Amino acid sequence: MHLIVEATDRGKTSRGVWGLAVRVARAVNRVLRRHGSVWGDRYHVRALRTPREVRNALVYVLQNFRKHLRGVVGIDPCSSARWFDGFRGRDRVEQSPSVVVRARSWLLRLGWRRAGLIDLEEAPARGR
- Percent of all residues in the chain with a pLDDT value above 70, rounded to a whole number: 97
Could you write out the DSSP letters of every residue in 96-116?
SPPSSPPP-SHHHHTGGGGG-
Report the distance separating Cα 93 and Cα 89, nearest Å.
Answer: 11
Query: Would you give the DSSP letter of residue 117?
Result: P
Work out the average pLDDT over 67-94: 87
Asked whether residue 42 carries a pLDDT value surpassing 80, the answer given is: no
Give first-to-last CA distance, the chain, whole Å. Answer: 14
Q: Is the pLDDT of residue 30 over 60?
A: yes
Assess whether pLDDT exceeds 90 at residue 48.
yes
pLDDT for 128: 46
E-strand stretches of the chain: 87-88, 118-119
Summary count for the chain: helices (H), strands (E): 4, 2
What is residue 127's predicted lDDT score, i.e. its pLDDT? 63
pLDDT of residue 12: 84
Residue 1: per-residue pLDDT: 74
Mean pLDDT of the chain: 88
**Residues 6+ positions from 112 with CB-CB distance below 8 Å:** 51, 52, 54, 55, 58, 86
Of 49, 44, 50, nearest to 128 by C-alpha is 44
Q: What is the mean pLDDT of residues 86-115?
A: 90
pLDDT band at 31 (very low <50, low <70, confident <90, very high): very high
Which secondary structure element, helix H or strand E, spans residue 51, and what is its range? Answer: helix 51-63
**What is the pLDDT confidence band of residue 18, given thresholds at 50, 70 and 90?**
confident
- The mean per-residue pLDDT over the stretch 89-117 comes to 90
